[in-house]
């Protein structure tokens, strides 16, 4: 028995030692030296992050990784993707296994403060919704009392679900599932009446069903789920780089800079804000410790926020999400970048 206690302790210590390499003094220097950005993504949510037919990750979240790689390394393809489950994502980030997370992660107080992460912005304003088969005859989440609900464990959605049903005085039977795919299998087999997760993921999931018309997403949105990229605490310069890479995509859409016209606009325009963004004027890139063409690289290689949205999850894609809250502030949405000045 003594021996097994020893061996147990040894194993534990070994696990913990995995975190040994967490302390790069500067993530930027480490990424530049490595020549590749390590980015944690969702293992498979169509539209947000999923491997395409050739096995390359594509999607809306993946584009954030590509933007950062373009800004830092000048090459949007210099990314090593690490698919992470919701259970291990923060550990992977804290241990230095990945440089950043772009994995539809909800920005919450405790994740930001207690778990020592830095959320650098919001790339998708989401909320939790419910999907049911049409023939269940349910038109509102208020009618779901007594239902069996499939829910991914270890997510904020699990906590919202518990609160929503308690506040509305309804019982339910949670069916915990480990992954997105397992949830779909159970839901399609009828082992649960309802599938609940972020509304964007519901749409993505419904798009991949054989018979999408047989399922409806209920109108209630029961939570705020601001999804965004994050980095670990303690390296503010790296946080700034990821934050402003995202902001560059957002600002570019606002000013009409696209992947098609960015190179041309980089010769100089009338608008000083665009000039600063594209490195024609000022030294914004140098302030970040990057090349002055950092934002130009993002826009020519990845495109602006709107382009990425339309290409991956917009209304003309199978996922088919409307811009809604995620329209530019000028269009009545919440997407807003601080000025480049």
Partner 1 sequence: MTTATNTPEDQGFRLSQLIYDTRYRSITIQVIAMLAFMLIAAFLIRNTIINLSALGKDIDFGFLFNRAAYDINQQIIPYTSDDPHWRATLVGLLNTLLIAVLGCILATIIGVIAGVLRLSKNWLTARIMTFYVESFRNIPVLLWILAFMAVLSEALPAPRAFRGDDPAASMWLWDSVAVTNRGTYIPAPVWGDGSVFVVITFLLSLLGIWAFGKFSQRRFEATGQILPNFWIKLAIFFVPSILVYFVMGRPITLSYPELKGFNFGGGLHMRNSMLALWLALSFYTGSFIAEIVRSGILAISKGQTEAAFALGLRPSRTMNLVILPQALRVIIPPLISQYLNLTKNSSLALAVGYMDLRSTLGGTTLNTTGRELECMLLMMAIYLVVSLLISSGMNVYNKSVRLKER
Rounded Cα distance, 182 and 159, in Å: 19
Q: CB under 8 A: which stretch of 44-52, 140-148, 246-254, 305-313 binds partner 1?
A: 140-148
Binding-residue pattern over the window 31 to 70 for partner 1, x denoting contact by CB under 8 A: ----------------------------------------
Burial 86-108 (b: 16+ CB within 10 A, else e): beebbebbbbbbbbbbbbbbbbb
Closest CA to 251 of 329, 332, 333: 329
Bridge partner list, 117: 232
Q: Which is nearer to partner 1, 34 or 166 (CB)?
A: 166
- Tell me how far apart the 2 most distant CA atoms of the chain are, in Å: 77
Interface pattern 186-205 for partner 1 (x via CB under 8 A)? x--xxxxx------------
Q: Positive or negative CA dihedral for 176, 142, 198, 53?
A: positive
Mutual orientation of helices 305-312 and 60-73 as an angle, nearest 10°? Answer: 140
User: Would you count residue 214 as binding partner 1 (CB under 8 A)?
Assistant: no
Tell the smallest beta-carbon distance from residue 216 to partner 1 (Å).
16
Interface stretch with partner 1, choices 46-54, 109-117, 268-276, 287-295 (CB under 8 A): 109-117
Length reported for the chain:
341
161, 147 Cβ separation under 8 angstroms: no
Residue 20 or 53 with smaller CB distance to partner 1 = 20
| Sole binder of partner 1 in the list 30, 78, 175, 327 (CB under 8 A) | 175
Contact footprint for partner 1 (CB under 8 A): 1, 4-6, 8-10, 12-17, 19-20, 22-23, 86-87, 90-91, 94, 110-111, 114-116, 136, 145-148, 153-156, 158-159, 161-163, 165-166, 172-178, 182, 185-186, 189-193, 232-234
């Amino acid at each position: 028995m003594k021996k097994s206690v020893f061996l147990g302790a040894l194993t534990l210590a070994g696990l913990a030692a995995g975190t040994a390499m967490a302390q790069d003094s500067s993530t930027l220097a480490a990424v530049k030296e490595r020549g590749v950005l390590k980015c944690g993504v969702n293992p498979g949510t169509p539209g947000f992050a999923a491997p395409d037919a050739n096995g390359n990750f594509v999607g809306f979240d993946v584009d954030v990784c590509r933007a950062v790689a373009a800004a830092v390394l000048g090459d949007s393809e210099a990314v090593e993707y690490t698919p992470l489950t919701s259970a291990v994502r923060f550990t992977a980030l804290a241990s230095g296994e990945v440089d950043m997370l772009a994995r539809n992660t909800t920005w919450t107080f405790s994740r930001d403060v207690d778990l020592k992460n830095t959320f650098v912005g919001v790339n998708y304003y989401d909320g939790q919704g419910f999907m049911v088969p049409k023939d269940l005859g349910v038109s509102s989440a208020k009618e779901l009392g007594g239902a069996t609900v499939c829910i991914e464990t270890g997510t904020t959605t699990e906590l919202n679900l518990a609160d929503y049903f308690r506040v509305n005085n309804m019982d339910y039977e949670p069916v915990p599932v480990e992954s997105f795919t397992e949830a779909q299998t159970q839901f399609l087999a009828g082992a649960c009446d309802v599938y609940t997760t972020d509304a964007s993921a519901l749409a993505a999931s419904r798009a991949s069903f054989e018979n999408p018309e047989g399922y409806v997403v209920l109108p209630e949105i029961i939570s705020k789920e601001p999804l965004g990229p994050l980095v670990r605490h303690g390296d503010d310069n790296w946080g700034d780089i990821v934050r402003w890479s995202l902001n560059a995509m957002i600002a570019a859409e606002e000013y009409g800079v696209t992947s098609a016209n960015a190179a041309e606009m980089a010769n100089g325009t009338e608008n000083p804000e665009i000039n600063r963004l594209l490195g024609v004027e000022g030294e914004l890139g140098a302030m970040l410790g990057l090349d002055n063409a950092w934002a130009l690289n993002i826009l020519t290689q990845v495109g602006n926020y709107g382009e990425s949205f339309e290409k991956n999850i917009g209304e003309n894609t199978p996922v088919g999400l409307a811009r809604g809250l995620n329209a530019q502030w000028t269009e009545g949405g919440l997407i807003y970048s601080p000025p480049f000045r």
